[in-house]
Amino acid sequence: MNWIILIIAGLFEVAFTSSLGKAKTTTGMEMYLWYGSFLISLVASMLLLMKAVQTLPLGTAYAVWTGIGAVGTVLMGIFVFHESVNFWRLFFIATLIGSIVGLKSMSH
């Protein structure tokens, strides 16, 4: 169950970084709504991470959480913010995903 909580925490990390990206492209009330989304997502991500590390190894949980956030944010950048995509970028995303899966499979 705590692995599911950790995955959700990582998805909230993607949400808070993506909210920052959207906030910088907007003005007025919409910008404040994106900053609100950032704060809510940040708090949710941290609370869920805190819950997950109560039973999961701290180093593994943190690495998986940041890995989910990093991969998710790069993918959001590519698909939502139209950032560049090339072989090496995809290659390193794939190695990061492989590392996350490896860490999860090696933890007890």
Is the Cα dihedral 19, 25, 28, 30 positive or negative? negative
pLDDT in tens, 35-74: 999 999 999 999 999 999 999 999 999 999 999 999 999 9
What global pTM score does this model have? 0.89
Amino acid identity for residue 1 in this structure: M
Number of domain units in the chain: 1
pLDDT for 107 beyond 80: no
Q: What is the pLDDT of residue 106?
A: 83
**What's the rounded Cα separation, in Å, for the pair 26 and 35?**
10
User: Which domain does 55 fall in, by range?
Assistant: 2-106
Return the DSSP state at 15: H
What is the pLDDT confidence band of residue 108, given thresholds at 50, 70 and 90?
low
Lowest mean pLDDT among 16-20, 83-87, 90-94, 101-105: 101-105
**What's the rounded Cα separation, in Å, for the pair 11 and 58?**
18
User: Scanning the structure block, which residue is given the tokens 């039973």?
Assistant: 55
Work out the mean pLDDT of the chain and round it to a whole number.
94
